[in-house]
Structure formats: structure tokens, C-alpha cells
Amino acid sequence: MKGYLSPYIPELKIQDYRTYRSYCCGVCSQLRADYGTATHRLLNHDMVVLALVADCLAGREGTVVRNVCGKHLLKRQRMMSHTKGIRYAAQTEILLAWQEAARQDTARLGLFARLRFYYEKAVLRMAHRRALTEGRQIDRLLQQARDHAAVLEQSACTDFDAACEPMGNFYGALYAACAPDESAVKPLRRMGFYLGKIYYLLRSAERYESDKASGAYNVFVLNGLTREAALESAKSRCHRAAVELARAYNLLGVKLNRSLLDNIIFLGLEHTVEHAGEARTERKGSWELDEIL
């Protein structure tokens, strides 16, 4: 699984691990059920955490069931039943994936890679139409963020805070929509804003070389930094953003699955930032500890 916001496994309690794993399987199951079997590959940690936050704030613990896994047909996995947070995360994942596919440049792809991309895009197009039935507001926010980002790219913006703003505003609105009452809207918006900022900085730093080679917009390249300097700058800015994110999170007073969310916000995010730019060590099967516990 991809994504930046995930638990720090060495410090994760077994029960919290199982809860998180059941959410992973729950979001995957929701993607398959609502948008087609091919969409399970879109599953990532960031959307799983969004589902977890939404359900924890609602204060309603979902039901864990054992169902046949759509990916491993001979296994019955523990998965969270289709909660409101899980449906929200699956819908958002489809809308994000479609926007990404719509902007994909296929010029550098080989023949087979291009054919595969067109097939996946056709599948996504149908899933996107289904997601729009309830997610037009999310899609509108996403398009606004894309338009804002395009303006900054065209002006060759070198200001780091301004470059982060479109993604920060989008994730701020995304998290604010999870608020169970008015008192939670402001801290959730702030939490989402800094998450979006961290995502943008880490992604830009990790794409430094490919963006520089292709001439794509990258705020670190435009500021004349080397790849190493870009990573150090991203880490420093992300650490400051993580402090503000933690302050906003503490204002929420989450009670349900608090130890799991604490692990993700305070340990998992720090671990991700510290290891930005390094080769991903996670491999297929690394989340299958549950099978032997």
C-alpha cells in the first residue's frame, strides 16, 4: 500500500493493528463493491486514515466481520463493515484517482504501458461517474484546487507556502466534512490543511529528479536546490507542519481508537517524514502479521 500517513508498526498494539487492518480491508471491500473489482489497487494508507478519523469522531464503532477477500479468494479476512467513514474514503479515492489519470502524460510510456493506462482509465471513468452521484462537492473542491495549482505553476511560483496552499485547502475541506458538530470543524480543517501541506512537500521532494528531467513544475527545482537540499527543506517544513497538525488533533478530544490515532499522528507521520526520499521498504504481505497472531 502507498501513502504517507500510516501507523508506526514497531510501537503499535496488537489490537490497534487489527483494527487498522480491518479498516484497510473494509475500504478495499467498499471500493470493489461500489466501483468495480479493478479499483482495489487504488487503496492507500491516507484514505484509510481518513475513514478511521471520520468514524472515530462519529463515536460509532463499526462491526468487524469475516468475509472472503476479493484479492485472495481462498482467505476470509477480518474487515470493518461498510461504515459512513469507509464509504466517504472510497468515494474520495475514486475522485482523486480520476483527476490524477486525467492529467497523466502518456508520451513517455511504452506501447504496453500505454494500453494498460487506457484500460485503467476507462475503468476509472465508469467508477468516477458512480462516485459523482454523491460526491459532486468533493469533486468541485478538487477541481478548484487543481485550477489554483495550475495558476501557480504557470506563474512559476517559488513561494513554498503558496505552492502548498491548493492541496492544503482541499484536504482541509475534506477533513472538515467529517466533523460531527460545529466545534470540530475548525480543528479538523486545520488538521487537514497541514496534512495536505505535508503531502505536497514530501511528494514534490520525492519527485525532484523526474520533474527536473521532464521540466515539470517543482517548487524545489525552481528555488535552485539540489535533491539533497530539497529533501532536507521538505523535512524541516514538514516537521513544523506536523507540530501544528498535532495541536489541531489534540483539540478534537478523540476517544474511540485513541491509541491507534495517536500512533499514526505522533509516531507514524514522524517516521514517514524522517525517511522521505528513501526507498520504500514495505512489500506485499507486510500487513499480514494478523494471520499469525
Tell me the percentage of the chain whose pLDDT exceeds 90. 61
| Confidence category of residue 91, pLDDT binned at 50, 70, 90 | very high
Of 136, 156, 177, 240, whose CA–CA distance to 51 is shortest?
A: 177
Q: For residue 252, is it within any domain?
A: yes
Question: Cα(130)–Cα(103) distance, rounded to whole angstroms?
Answer: 20
Q: For residue 1, is it within any domain?
A: no
Mean pLDDT of the chain: 87
Q: For residue 285, is it within any domain?
A: no
For residue 71, the model assigns a pLDDT of: 63
| DSSP-based three-state secondary structure for 80 | strand
Q: For residue 85, is it within any domain?
A: yes
Q: Which residue has the cell 490543511?
A: 193
Q: Which residue has the cell 468514524?
A: 55
Q: For residue 255, is it within any domain?
A: yes
Q: For residue 125, is it within any domain?
A: yes
Please provide residue 76's backbone torsions phi and psi, each rounded to the nearest 5 degrees.
Answer: -110, 115
Residues 105, 85 contacting (CB under 8 angstroms): no
Give the residue-averaged pLDDT of 238-251: 96
CATH, residue 39: 1.10.600.10
Q: For residue 284, is it within any domain?
A: no
Alpha helices (H) in the chain, listed in sequence order: 14-35, 45-58, 84-102, 111-154, 160-176, 185-206, 208-214, 219-222, 227-250, 258-262, 269-274
Q: In which domain, by residue range, is 38 found?
A: 9-278
**Own/partner pairs, 280-283, CB within 8 angstroms, 24+ separation:** 282/1
- List pLDDT tens digits, range 8-61: 999 999 999 999 999 999 999 899 889 988 888 888 999 999 999 999 998 877
Q: What is the pTM of this model?
A: 0.89
Of 81, 80, 60, 51, whose CA–CA distance to 264 is shortest?
A: 51
- List pLDDT tens digits, range 113-169: 778 777 778 888 889 899 988 888 998 999 999 999 999 999 999 999 999 999 999
For residue 53, the model assigns a pLDDT of: 95
Number of domains in the chain: 1
Higher pLDDT, 64 or 224: 224
Please provide residue 65's backbone torsions phi and psi, each rounded to the nearest 5 degrees.
Answer: -125, 165
For residue 285, the model assigns a pLDDT of: 40
